Structures are given as structure tokens and as C-alpha cells.
Structure 1
């Protein structure tokens, strides 16, 4: 079992508006024949770590799934758990403004910023 983490992502308000109001998660299954089962966990990070997203996603071979989640929070973190994620799954997380504009500082893509946990 592999667990990948975005690590804590700061999203403090600037002039009263947080940089990201949404988080888009894209996952591609690179396995030739295997269906991937991935658990997506999103946490609000305040004085405590509070779970606010919990979704299990099944992804067919060569399929790409996109999920959008609420992110108008001061700080958040996403975890992805499944078998051999590093080899079989391409995962990216994108912070977005309410109008859909990407927030470059809130971008985490496969093989760039991921940290292995547990």
C-alpha cells in the first residue's frame, strides 16, 4: 500500500480573499490491464487536522478522472492511498480561483513535489 501526500498547503487570505477556493484532482491510471482503487482524503488544517473529503475512486486502465473539492480554507492537505501508486497512477492537484484560474503556488504534480508518507 502506498500513501502520497501533498503536504500542508497554505491558503491564507490576501486582501481578504484566499488564493484558491477550489482544488482539482486529476488521476490517470497508467496500468495496462489493472483497475486502480484509490482512496482520496482531504484535510482542513486548523488547530487540529479535520477530515473533510473522503472518496474511494475506481479507475479503469488508461482512464483519467477529475474531481473538484472545496478549498476556501486557510490550510489543507490531500492524501492518496492505493497499491503501487507511484508506478501505476499519475496524480496532480491544482488550486483554483472561483473563476477557474489556476493558482501556480498550489500545484502538486507526479514526480515533482510529492512526499511519501507512512
Structure 2
């Protein structure tokens, strides 16, 4: 089972507004035949690390899944546990967005940047 992490992400307010209010997660299974399972966990990082997202999904072959999560927090982290026959063909990216839906360029983690 592969475990990917965004690592801790700082989202402190600037002029009273946090840069990111929503996180978009894209999961891509490039395998043409096999599916995969993904467990998504999101954590609020404060004086303690507290889970606020816990979801398991099945990603069918040649499928892209998009999920949206609340992120109007000072600091957060997402973990992804990937299993199944297509484990090595699954890629995950995480994107921060403003309340308007506009991407926050400094808040993005693409497949090649995920920590192992």
C-alpha cells in the first residue's frame, strides 16, 4: 500500500483572509484494466493534529475522481493510502482554491511532489 502526504500546509490569514478556503483533490487511475482503493484523510494542524476528513473511495480503471473539502483553516495536511492492483498507476494532486473558486498558485501539490 502506497502512502502519499501533502506534508503540512500553512494557510494563515493575510489581511484577515486565508488564501485558501477549499481544497480540490484529483485522483487519476491510469490503469486500463485494474481498479484501486484510496483512503483520504485530512487533518487540521494546530496545537494537536485532528482528523476532519476520512473517506474511502474506489477508483475504477481509466477514471478521474474530483473531491472538494473545506480548507478555511490555519494549517492542514492530507494523507492518501492507495491500494489495489492499480496502486502504481494512481496519481493524486491537491489544489487550494479561494472562496470564488480561483486557484491559489502557492497551494498546490501535484503527483510528483507528494511525499512518500
Match of 2:33 in 1: 33
Match of 2:106 in 1: 105
Match of 2:82 in 1: 82
Residues 22-62 of structure 1, C-alpha deviations (whole Å, 9 max, x = no match)? 00000011112111100000000000000000000111101
> Within 2, Cα distance between the matches of 1:97 and 1:76?
15
Q: CA deviation at 1:86?
A: 6.6
Provide runs of 4+ in structure 1 moved above 4 Å: none
> Within 2, Cα distance between the matches of 1:99 and 1:17?
13
Q: Unpaired runs of 5+ in structure 2?
A: none
Query: Matches of residues 30-69 of structure 1 in structure 2 within 5 Å?
Result: 30-69=30-69
**Secondary structure at the counterpart of residue 80 of structure 2:** strand
Match of 2:72 in 1: 72
> Within 1, Cα distance between the matches of 2:34 and 2:46?
38
**Secondary structure at the counterpart of residue 100 of structure 1:** coil
> Within 2, Cα distance between the matches of 1:114 and 1:86?
15
Match of 1:15 in 2: 15
Q: Unpaired runs of 5+ in structure 1?
A: none
Report the TM-score when normalising by structure 2. Answer: 0.95
Report the TM-score when normalising by structure 1. Answer: 0.93
